[in-house]
Each structure stands twice: as structure tokens, then as C-alpha cells.
Chain A
Amino acid sequence: MAVLLLAEVTDGALALDATAKAVNAAKTLGDVTVLCAGASAAAAGESAAKIDGVSKVLVAEDPALGHRLAEATAALIVSLAGDYSHIVAPATTDAKNVMPRVAALLDVMVLSDVTGVVDADTFERPIYAGNAIQTVKSKDAKKVITFRTSTFDAAGEGGSAAVEAVSAPGDPGLSEWVEDKVAASDRPELTSAKIVVSGGRGVGSEEDFKIIEALADKLGAAVGASRAAVDSGFAPNDWQVGQTGKVVAPELYVAVGISGAIQHLAGMKDSKIIVAINKDEEAPIFQVADFGLVADLFQAVPELTEKL
């Protein structure tokens, strides 16, 4: 059995953490070949070759593959699919865009957000915002899977796989990229950070979100937010944690002014230690918190930042 793994490549660079976690999740399924696709992807291919457990790297460079537009990327994967029993990727927004398209072109079902590998046909995945875990067995000849990265450790480095160039089937001409709006940040990335500090509606304004950011910076943490905070314009969309945002499982998750709706819990309840700061002692977030502090966040958070 052999696995084709679509690496997460952004603007020519490999997202090592997400890719290495998917490699680790996939390696029990067979020899792992990593595919790096993009307008430029050679450098990403070099990095992927060093991940432990990778047996081969394919690099596909073509302007049509830039910005990971789904149509061209899916066509490329389908052109390579013949040799593989499993086609997998980390469950990033890019892969969630591409992989179901690949599956339908191969006339197979997709398995999204897989959190456990039972055997080559059988997998675990959360449903209902993580309120149930389903074990499913696929009857399809090929399995198309995205792995939820927060539940797998990253494979180490030290490999030296061979790198080979492959050609792309060309531009289907269905879509074109216009622009990206990406906020540059020196903070760790939300999905791989060891500590995450998140703010909710209770924070009250974009201005006051600075006290959340100050605590995060003191801890060397990433900043997260509830949907209510993002909807209200306090925080950008890529900070959203939850069922429809990012799923995180850091060593420490600090939830400030967040009530603890199931859709939010879906994105953070596997964190090792959860701290909640909320002025309402009845807030459901306290039911999952290891340490709860019933307090006004405008007092408690600056005090915490100072005393740490």
C-alpha cells in the first residue's frame, strides 16, 4: 500500500508543522510520497524530503497551481492517483477545498477531519461538533482523507527522501486568484502554538482586545477568539477557534470572556490545561476548565500579565 500526501505549501514555502503531523498520521498506512504543488514548490520539496518517514517527494510547479486553486490542484492529484491506495492531507482550509473535489473525481467518498487510524480501511472522526466520535470503515478502493492535525504529533526531521519533478495537467481556466489579505504576525501560529490566549464577546471591543494580546505576548502565545468576537469585529477571522474555525490542542488554553458554547468547545476541549476567566460563575466554560477564575477580565487579565 502506498500513500500520496498533499503537503501544505503557502507561497512556495512548506508549512512544516501541519505537513509533518499528517506524515505521522499516515505512515502506518504505507510508504508516504509527499506532493508539493504550487507556482513555486521546489524549496518546499527540499524541506519535505527531510521529514522522517517520507520515502519520496514529488514537486509540481506550474503557474496554474499557484494559490492552491482547487480545480488545477485536484486535476494534478487525480493524474497521479493511480499508484496510491490512500490520498491524504492535513485538514487545512486549502486541503478541505481540494480533497473532496479529488474524491468525487475518483468516485469515492472523502473522510474529513480524521482523528484516529484504526486500520487501512477504518478511521475515527468527530461529528456533531465533537459531541460524538464515529468509527467508519470505507468500502472504496481508494481512500481520500484529511487528518485533523491537532490530534497527531509531528514526525521528526532527519529523513533524506529523493525529490522528483512531475508535470501538471495544465490550467483548466475556471478560476483565477485576485488577492490575499494575510496579516503578518510575529506570534506563533494558532494551530501549532504551545499556549493560546483567546478572547470572546466579553472583551467588548477591538481596542480592548489589546489586553488579550498583551497577555499572549507575555506568554509567547498565539491569540484566538470566539466567533462572537470575530463577528463583532474585535478580531480577524483567522483567529476563530471552534467547530467552524480552527481546532487547537495546546499545552495551555486561556479563555477570557468566553461563555463556552459547544461550537467553541469543539475547537479547544482537547487542550491539556484550560484556564477560564469569566465574571459569570455559571458560564459553561467553567465545566471544562482546570482552573477557573470568576472575575472581571479588565482587572484580572492585566494583573495576570503583570504577575507572570
Chain B
Amino acid sequence: MKVLVPVKRVIDYNVKVRVKADGAGVDLANVKMSMNPFDEIAVEEAIRLKEAGTASEVVAVSIGVKQAQETLRTALAMGADRAILVVAADDVHQDIEPLAVAKILAKVVEAEEPGLVLAGKQAIDNDMNATGQMLSALLGWSQATFASELKIEGDSAVVTREVDGGLQTIKVKMPAIVTVDLRLNEPRYASLPNIMKAKKKPLDEKTAADYGVDVSPRLEIVKTTEPAARQAGEIVADVDTLVAKLKEKGIV
């Protein structure tokens, strides 16, 4: 079974984002970019399936600017076998909407015929939490989102999902789309020899036009603003003062 893992290049989760003064978006020039943390977990899970003999090949795919190559090299260094870059934008500030990403991924799936797609549950830049579900809809496949545990049993995947009430386990028919949550595994770091090896692994380059997908956005960004900042309050001396303050506010 082949496993396809879509990985997104996003602002590193440690970077403090700045909204541009003209409200045109978030400043992404010269900031550290990394693989979306959820996607690292998806890559790790795919590699573990391969190590367990369940998967035969792990293919990483990214859609975006040319620089997403670096993200794919990271996936290859972790252990993916090969990578596909679909160039769909020139400017690092131009993001591709989940619907367009899902349409391109659907074409990649048609060509690659994976038995399983492992995606992140959300990208930490736009927090849309949509791409996996949309891809599943376009393919008419089953979906299991927010996975914290994944077992392949014959032609089904048994997935434990993190939901509002606690945990839900479902069994989905393969081929399937599974989107991964943070507690599924702890991704490995790529070792230096593996980083070197990754440079020689195949990385195919395509464009959105190759797949005949129109990536024009459906959502127009009217403006981007900073949320109202919260003012720091006061440091209280002891528990008694804290209790008095809360009583003063009338909330206890």
C-alpha cells in the first residue's frame, strides 16, 4: 500500500506573527518557515507504517511556492521515499485555499493511487481544518479526522478520534483520508546522514496547470488586523488579596 502525505510550509510555530501595517496580511518575508507541526506527525505515522511492513512507499506532496521544496526535503530526510511539488503560487504571501489544494490533491491521488492519505488536521497559519475533509468529499472516500490512534486491519482503518466529548473510535473502509491530531505520535528528528541522503531522493516538480486546476481564491481578504491586545493587570501579594480582588469584582 502506498501512503500519500500532503505537507504544508507554514510560519514556524515559535515565530511571533506580525500583521502588516497596511492591513494586507501577515508579514511572511524573511521569517522562519517550517513544516506544519501536524504534517510532521502525519509523515512520522506514514514512515512507521512502512517500517511495520504495512506501507510499501511514502510519497510526500506539497502545494504552494517553490520554497516548499525545503519542506519536502525535510519529509524525505525523515524517511519519505519521494516527493511531489506542485507550484501554484509565486509570492510567499499567496496561500492556496483548501478547496483548491484538495482539487490538486485529488488529481495527485488519481495518478498515484495511494491506499491511504495521511494529512494534518489543520494548518497552524490559517487554522481552517478543512483540506482532508474536502479531499475525501471530492474522491467520495471515507474520512477519519483528528486521529490520535490508527490501526490498519485488512482493508479497513480503525481510528480513534479526539472529539469534544472525549474519544471516538470508528472503522473506515480504505482507501481513506485520515487527518492526524497532536497525540498520534512524536515525530523523529532527521539525522545528518539522512538529511544528506534526502538530497538525492526524487522530487518531481509540477504546476497547478499540469493538473488543470483553477486555484483562484473564492475568499477575498478584505483586511487583516491585530486583535485588541490585553492589558497586563496587577501582581497580588498573597491569596488573601486575590480573594478580596475577586470578591470586589463580584465573581466569587
Which residues from chain A sit less than 8 Å from chain B, CB to CB?
A: 10, 67, 69-71, 74, 92-94, 96-105, 107-113, 122, 126-140, 173-183, 191, 195, 219, 227, 230-231, 236-238, 243-244, 246, 251-252, 262-263, 269, 273-275, 281, 286-295, 300, 303-304, 307-308
Contact = CB atoms under 8 A, between A and B. Distances in A.
Contacts of B122: 244
A97 B137 CA distance: 11
Contact of A304 (B143, B144, B221, B243): B243
A71 B143 contact: yes
Interface in B127-148: 127-138, 141-146, 148
A308 B243 contact: yes
Given A93-B164, A181-B166, A286-B232, A291 B221 contact: no
B181 interface: yes
A293 B124 contact: no
Choose among B97, B125, B219, B222 the residue with the greatest number of A CB atoms under 10 Å from its CB: B219
A246 B236 CA distance: 28
B163 A70 contact: no
B16 interface: yes
B230 A230 contact: no
Complex A-B, nearest 8 residue pairs according to Cβ-Cβ distance, in ascending order: A174-B142, A290-B233, A104-B134, A100-B133, A104-B137, A100-B130, A135-B222, A178-B169
Nearest to B99: A109
Interface stretch (B48-56, B74-82, B170-178): B170-178
Given A101-B136, A101-B143, A293-B238, A238 B220 contact: no
Given A126-B227, A133-B224, A275-B242, A10 B165 contact: yes
Contacts, number: 249
A132 B99 contact: no
Contacts of A102: 137
Contact of A307 (B97, B142, B223, B243): B243
A69 B145 contact: no
Determine which residue in A136, A137, A274 has the highest number of CB atoms from chain B within 10 A of its CB, and name it: A136
B111 interface: no
Contacts of A300: 239
A257 B245 CA distance: 20
A293 B236 contact: yes
Contacts of B213: none
Contacts of B221: 134-136
B166 A236 contact: yes
A97 B203 CA distance: 32
Contact of B129 (A74, A96, A130, A292): A96
A161 B129 CA distance: 33
Given A103-B99, A138-B219, A308-B243, A110 B127 contact: no
Contact of B235 (A128, A195, A238, A286): A286
B247 to A, nearest CB: 9
A110 B102 CA distance: 12
Given A131-B16, A176-B170, A275 B124 contact: no
B252 interface: yes
A101 B134 contact: yes
Interface string B107-128: 0000000000000011011111
Interface residues of B, number: 78
B172 A180 contact: no
Contacts of B148: 237
A136 B134 contact: no
Given A105-B137, A251-B251, A293-B235, A180 B165 contact: yes
A132 B164 contact: no
Contacts of B99: 103-104, 107-110
B210 interface: no
Interface string B207-236: 000000000011111111111001011111
B189 interface: no
A79 to B, nearest CB: 14
Given A101-B143, A179-B169, A289-B232, A70 B133 contact: yes
A103 B143 CA distance: 15
A246 B165 CA distance: 11
Contacts of A111: 219
B229 to A, nearest CB: 9
B233 A289 contact: yes
Contacts of B142: 71, 174-175
B196 interface: no
Contacts of B124: 128-129, 243
24 contacts: A71-B142, A71-B143, A93-B164, A100-B129, A100-B137, A101-B133, A101-B134, A101-B143, A104-B134, A105-B137, A109-B218, A109-B219, A127-B126, A128-B17, A128-B26, A129-B127, A135-B223, A139-B220, A181-B169, A182-B165, A236-B166, A289-B232, A304-B239, A307-B239
